[in-house]
Amino acid sequence: MLLSVIIVNYNVKYFLEQCLCSVRKAIGEMRVATGERNVEVLVVDNNSTDGSIEYLQHRFPFVQFIKNSVNLGFSKANNQALQKATGKYILFLNPDTILPEDAFTKCITFMETTTDAGALGVQMIDGMGQFLKESKRGFPSLWVSFCKMSGLTRWFPGSKIFARYYMGHLSNQQVNKVDILSGAFLMVKQSLLHKTGGFDEQFFMYGEDIDLSYRLQQTGYHNYYLPDCTIIHFKGESTRKDNKYVRLFYKAMVQFVQKHFHGELAWFYTGLLEAVIWLRAALTFVSREHQERSVKYEGKPRFFLAGDEKSAKEVRSVLSSFPDYSITAKPEEAREWIFCEGASCSFRQIIEQLKSCPSWLKPFIHAGGTYTIVGSHSKDQRGYVIVME
């Protein structure tokens, strides 16, 4: 097997449905390119309460579903599937992502032709089409972390000195060696995972991709950022930035420091992070209250349907269940656009359109053959799902 795709799910069945539709298309393109089926997909469900497996299993018979009776956390669940994976390459993938059809062929080709590549990440955009800075990150040293937490990174986003957390000095449009890759899309040589081990299971959620990226670099191979492949990561769906998120994120950073730093530096760094936890938690509470008021729709949503016409008919069937929703044939009359994937409109085309969307537009995506519409218009909040009732 050439590639094993591992996805950990927890109560996001509709986003995962759209993700698996895009994975299926990417598998199809890979099969055309290689002449054989050489991709396996493993989904680990961490004791979801939304009936994820029951909903998805018959829709995606090519997927191996693993059902856990408890929530093992992100690291343990990924390692659980890793034990069953047979691919030369392992792709750790978030369930709230959408891939272009050529994602696997581009990434495998890069890994096969770049001898010093141990791991690979890609360009990620959010549900509004905005570039996600965590697509490429620097090692969180004391100085780099200070710049991030103090706001220097935000004030000087292109500085090699102050913006190394997101490697802001490196172009988003060029291939580069980077320190840290995102666990939302992380392709790794399985041979290296045998040397380093998979995710460190002391990290329940957050920080595990930083730790693994760091350990992969220590093998002598490099982590690469590949902008030629762009995926959607509905950031707000998997990572709602509330007080619990802040505590879990910085707890993970403390664990990372205690594991990889020693002596007085570790003591100082840990104390700094713990102070930041309380400050950020307070600021996040105030900010989140404002954001939740500001993102509510005003009036009755009016949608414009773009893309494949057959897929758009499915969307009309879904929207017919909601009497307050309407459809317009005039794009200028709608703030909400639904991009309909299908025979005449690929995921790749939708992703490219999202990258040029105006800031006022609120995009949604519908995969052909489903009766689900998803979107996420804030990286700090849960996404939207419209499904036939």
Q: In this predicted model, what pLDDT tens digit does every residue of 56-65 receive, in sequence order?
A: 999 999 999 9
| Dist CA 207 CA 214 (whole Å) | 11
Q: Could you give the maximum distance between any two Cα atoms of the chain, in Å?
A: 65
Q: What is the mean pLDDT of residues 375-388?
A: 85
Banded model confidence at residue 206, pLDDT cuts 50, 70, 90: low
DSSP 175: -
| pTM confidence score | 0.86
Structure-token match 């040589």, residue found:
189
Q: Under a CB-based contact definition with an 8 Å cutoff, are residues 337 and 329 in contact? A: no
| Dist CA 184 CA 165 (whole Å) | 17
Structure-token match 């036939």, residue found:
388
Q: What is the mean pLDDT of residues 336-359?
A: 96
What is the chain's mean pLDDT, rounded? Answer: 86
Q: How many helices (H) and strands (E) does the chain have?
A: 13, 15
| Dist CA 187 CA 169 (whole Å) | 24
In this predicted model, what pLDDT tens digit does every residue of 239-254 receive, in sequence order? 444 455 555 665 656 6
Best CA proximity match to 86, nearest among 171, 191, 229 = 191
CA end-to-end distance (rounded Å), the chain? 40
Mean pLDDT is lowest, of 52-61, 84-93, 152-161, 300-309, for 152-161
Question: Phi and psi dihedrals of 374, rounded to 5?
Answer: -130, 155
| Dist CA 212 CA 200 (whole Å) | 7
Banded model confidence at residue 263, pLDDT cuts 50, 70, 90: low
| Dist CA 61 CA 371 (whole Å) | 18
In this predicted model, what pLDDT tens digit does every residue of 266-313 receive, in sequence order? 555 666 655 555 555 555 544 443 333 333 333 478 999 999 999 999
